[in-house]
Amino acid sequence: MEPKLYRPPPEVRGMTSLDKEAFTQTITVPALRVPTGVLNKVVKSLRKATIQRPGVPRVVQDKEQSNDFRLVLLDPRRVSSPSSFSEAEAESLRSFGVSEELHYYELQLTYDNLKSEEVLEAVLPPDLDVTSAFSRVGHIAHMNLRDHQLPYKNLIGQVIMDKNPGVTCVVNKTNIIDSTYRNFRMEVLAGEEDMVAKVKENGVTYEFDFSRVYWNPRLSTEHQRVVQLVKRGDTVFDVFAGVGPFAIPAARLGANVLANDLNPESYRWLQHNCKLNKVESKVRVFNLDGRAFIRGPLKQELPALLKGTSGVHMVMNLPALALDFLDAFRGLLHQEPPCDENLPTVHCYGFSKDDNPDTDVVGRASRSLGFPLENRCSVHFVRNVAPNKDMLCVRFTLPKEVLFGKPTEEPAPKRQKCEETKNAT
Ligand SMILES: C[S@@+](CC[C@H](N)C(=O)[O-])C[C@H]1O[C@@H](n2cnc3c(N)ncnc32)[C@H](O)[C@@H]1O
């Protein structure tokens, strides 16, 4: 028998509003008549040949309703005749005294027994890409639908919600991520419009309004990689902190953190997450432009830290722009410390579309700093964000020639509203 037996009825093609009943169909599947005494053993030894559908039983009563026998339902794509059984399967059937003779069973398949891809493949135009891919942010499934899928967007949303337990809201991204605050504009496709998500990343809980701040579930490994470099007693300056996925784990490890974000909503949720994770005494939160943060709170704290022995980290995760912000470190301080052993470590992110992304980001960082970083930094590939577009992290010790060098010519940006949270009580 052919795989097409598994396809929903052709009438569902083109459906834009979900009618679950229309997916119900009866299909004929092969079965073996098995004595109840050896049922479990037979099902176990035939596990590659039995039917595997969500919500479909593998064992049913036979027609005669005999208590001594049951029917074991087989996958029609795998078994079409007794010769379809492998040598090992045939041998075990013989050893259990089960006949290889095939019986046939009328099986009712409903919408509930279909996978999301099968429903969508049956509904959307043939030969066009069907995607049921989404990112999960708490109870929210976040999709990025293509133009040809848009006429079916509400049906797609409903199917994703039905087939993924715990998803109660499905959204589609309606613009590319080019806003200042790196959040998406989004449209609710299905479910209740509740954008306040609760997620757990690397054992830390975060809450935020997903429609108003930046959150990317694909960065959890990167957050962990950087946080692991931080030690108890270190100081971390998180220039583009978002809702806290570097700042809060670092504070939980015992670092002192100054975390900043220009988006007032991120700033608010960052404060909230500090409290939620009971690290408000370890994190000072700012709502400034990145340059103002570097030239303000960071500059104020740095001289004392350079004289100490604890590590100092600067995290700059705004890949579209962070490399350009490095010029804010030029000539930041005036009086050189006695030695350069405790200079800060910078973790600065950048996107690159270059054929040689490592060289590209190091070159751009060097130009922005006015200092050659070649052979003085390491580059870590974070992820491929789009065809020919990579995200990388350049790590380097901030050179004293930059910190104590000539400041950039450009005027300092206007001071923005500075709302430092006096979290330490
Ligand atoms: C790519 S997100 C990273 C957030 C967080 N560090 C993370 O890993 O999830 C960049 C953040 O920078 C903030 N941002 C954008 N422009 C900024 C600026 N000029 N100064 C400070 N923060 C800025 C955005 O609001 C956003 O939260």
CA distance readout (Å), 342 to 11, 205, 311, 320, 332: 70, 32, 7, 29, 16
263 lines ligand 1 (CB under 6 A): yes
User: Structure pTM?
Assistant: 0.84
Cα distance between residue 158 and residue 162, in whole Å: 6
pLDDT at 101: 94
212 lines ligand 1 (CB under 6 A): no
Just give the CATH number of 116-199.
3.30.300.110
DSSP state of 344: P
pLDDT tens digits for the chain (425 residues)? 345 556 788 899 999 999 999 999 998 999 999 999 999 999 999 989 999 888 899 999 987 777 899 999 999 989 999 999 999 999 999 999 999 999 999 999 999 999 898 899 999 988 777 777 899 999 999 998 988 899 999 999 999 999 999 999 999 988 665 577 777 788 999 999 999 999 999 999 999 999 999 999 999 999 999 999 999 999 999 999 999 999 999 999 999 999 999 999 999 999 999 999 999 999 999 999 999 999 999 999 999 999 999 999 999 999 999 999 999 999 999 876 556 578 999 999 999 999 999 999 999 999 999 999 999 999 999 999 999 999 999 999 999 999 998 877 654 444 444 333 333 22
Architecture of the CATH domain 213-403? 3-Layer(aba) Sandwich (3.40)
Q: Is 262 annotated as a binding residue?
A: yes
pLDDT at 416: 41
Measure 218 CA to ligand 1 centroid, in angstroms. Answer: 16
Determine the Cα angle at 37 with ends 35 and 41, to 5°.
Answer: 95
- Alpha helices (H) in 75-194, listed in sequence order: 87-95, 116-123, 153-163
Q: How many beta carbons lie within 10 A of that of residue 26, not counting itself? A: 8
Q: How many beta carbons lie within 10 A of that of residue 148, not counting itself? A: 12
pLDDT at 2: 44
Most informative mutation of 318, 324, 419 for ligand 1 (most atoms within 8 A of CB): 318
Tokens of 254: 């015992």
CA distance readout (Å), 420 to 274, 293, 328, 383: 14, 11, 20, 33
Just give the CATH number of 25-109.
3.30.70
- Under 8 Å CB-to-CB from 209, ≥6 apart: which residues? 195, 196, 197, 265, 269
Domain ranges of the chain: 25-109, 116-199, 213-403
CA end-to-end distance (rounded Å), the chain: 72
Please choose, from the candidates 339, 403, 338, 411, the residue with its C-alpha nearest in 3D space to the C-alpha of residue 371.
403
What confidence tens digit (pLDDT) does each residue in 20-61 have?
Answer: 999 999 989 999 999 999 999 999 999 899 998 888 999 999
Please choose, from the candidates 224, 273, 402, the residue with its C-alpha nearest in 3D space to the C-alpha of residue 327.
402
For ligand 1, atom 7, the nearest C-alpha belongs to 242
DSSP state of 274: H
* Cα 405 versus chain centre, distance: 41
Determine the Cα angle at 339 with ends 247 and 347, to 5°.
Answer: 25
329 lines ligand 1 (CB under 6 A): no
Q: Is 290 annotated as a binding residue?
A: yes
* Cα 45 versus chain centre, distance: 38
Same fold, 25-109 and 213-403: no
- Alpha helices (H) in 277-399, listed in sequence order: 290-293, 299-307, 322-325, 357-369
